[in-house]
Amino acid sequence: MSGIAACSAGIASKAVALSCGVASAAADAQEAVRQPTASCGRSKVVASDDATVVATIAGKVRGFRRNGIYIFKGVPYGASTSGANRFMPPKEPEPWAGIRNALAYGRICPQQDSAHFDTDGKNLANADEDAFLLHRGCAVQVPGEDCLRVNIWTPEINGAGKRPVMVYMHGGGFSGGSGHDLLSYEGESLARNHDVVLVNHNHRLNVYGYLNLEALGGEDFALSANIGMLDLVAVLKWVRSHISIFGGDPNNVTIFGQSGGGGKVAALMAMPVAKGLFHRAIIQSGPFIRALTPDYSQQVAGMLLAELGLQKSQVRELQKIPVDRLSGAATEAIRKTPRPKTARRDSFDESGWGPTVDGRVLPVHPFDPAAPAISADVPLITGTNLHESVNGVDHPGVTSMTIEEMNRRVHEIYGSDAGDIVAAYKREYPDATPFGLYATIATARWRIPAFTQVARKAALGAAPAYSYVYSWRTPVLDNRPGTFHACEISFAFDNAEICDHYSAGDPAAFVLSKQMSTAWVDFARTGNPNHSGLPHWPSYTQESRSVMFFDAPCVARNNPEGEGIEIISRLQSS
């Protein structure tokens, strides 16, 4: 039976209800017992001192309830990071009296001009299709240093529930993005349809989270290179202390993230201070192998001082400089700092903003030369999309690429080995267009480190590791966009209904969204992503190298792209 056929019965009732945006008739019936209903089967929104208030350690917060899910936004998990707290480890939030509203998202960390650059640094001046497909700009983004906030979606508050907890790390490298810049991140569907507690958050990024001042400021700034990662540890500690009152199980916490968020998951797996705060891990298109070296991040710090006209003895002046000036100088400092000579051409993150192997917070590289032994008991899913940084989004000419042009482009990258590489990928994907082949070959810079991650994790011989490639194509825009970076997030969150610019209301999209989100949740619940609506997904071993392709239908394949990747890997190491 195909993946679609196996899962279709399970989502039939949900598809019937799409016109009203509700989960299912059964869910509505259950919810009607608990609260009044409005027209179109939707529950009324309730925000009440009697019904939607939770007491945190710092004070009481008021959220709201919609469609059976309690939602709390912008809850502080740390104090403001401005002034003397800038570049310092996160502190506990200041207590407050009375009831504080948790009805709207909090501030985001200051970052580069979001009108012209996306969270991975790509120029978006003309990226209308990217914004359309990913529902960018779905919520107000207000920058500020008081940005240590969490958002929670849960079926229950002030009860005795012990649901799996899923803590999401947003994308944007280690320099941009937020927990609410994409509609995909909305956690209501995942919480309601799968009975889990979903948490996401904002934290310090770029210069505010990863400026290595240890060599300039001594012990006062000894941890500054990894402050952004310590914010994430503070999130997980907040979850451990509070999630029970939100219906979650603090002893069953999964961290997951996409792109830079996946990199954060990888780094947390290598951090002793995070040990025991999470129990499963999922890395989506974030194959972070090596972190920054101290030499590089210290060069960035020195360049920043030069940009601001400061001497080494004036390092504390950095805590007083206005945000706009500091952010602008930081952008220039990164631009002017040479990329490390030791960084490989196709490496994923060994320059720019990010965590540093400092011997304290991050004692070793996340997945080099091996998977982190400290997280050997943590099951892992890691994977990539078929086409990551090269795809048809905002490129209307891709359909006209000829075989000759494709061969020329691959030759420019791989020289005399281009013919063998193209031939290997043609055997793997015989129906691919010339551009499709080129885009898949170009994604080797993502696929190779992702396969490296899963292989090194499996080699520990402890908890299982699973590998995937997401390859479903949206029919929107004449089927041109392909399987682009970040497109899978909405399906992992079971958000095919609300993210309809991408799903297009396609029945296959709703099936796949259910298959993928259920796999993610079952993995969070048990450490095993297999379920009845998905073909069997074997764990990865060096012998089988099994990879699940999320598509219509889903299928598990052994050693996909193996021949081409072997050639490219050999070239990288030569």
Determine contact, residues 554/534, Cβ cutoff 8 Å: yes
Find the DSSP H helices in 443-531.
444-459, 489-492, 500-503, 507-526
* Bridge partner residues of 253 (DSSP): 165
Which of 259, 327, 375, 539 is the catalytic position?
259
Q: Rounded CA gap, 91 and 195, in Å?
A: 32
Determine contact, residues 560/547, Cβ cutoff 8 Å: yes
Backbone φ, ψ for residue 320 (5° rounding): -110, -15
Q: Name the DSSP letter for residue 338.
A: P
The DSSP string of 191-232 is HHHHT-EEEEEE---HHHHH---HHHHGGGGTTGGGHHHHHH
Peptide bond into 369 cis (omega under 30): yes
Strands (E), 424-491: 465-470
Pairing of strands 546-550, 465-470: parallel
Give the strands of the sheet with 99-101, arranged side by side.
Answer: 53-55, 60-62, 99-101
Q: Which residues of 381-412 are buried (b: 16+ CB within 10 A; e: fewer)?
A: bbbbbbbbebbbbbbeebeebeeeebbebbee
Q: Rounded CA gap, 512 and 526, in Å?
A: 21
Location of structure tokens 């810079």: 445
Residue 299 amino acid letter? Q
Active site residue 259: yes
Determine contact, residues 189/498, Cβ cutoff 8 Å: yes
Q: Rounded CA gap, 395 and 409, in Å?
A: 16
Residue 37: exposure state from Cβ atoms within 10 A (0-12, 13-18, ≥19): middle
Location of structure tokens 């079971």: 494
Q: Which residues of 117-128 are buried (b: 16+ CB within 10 A; e: fewer)?
A: bbbbeeebeebe
What tokens appear for 128 in the block?
């209308």
Tell me how crowded residue 1 is: count the other CB atoms within 10 A of its CB: 9
| Residues noted as catalytic | 259
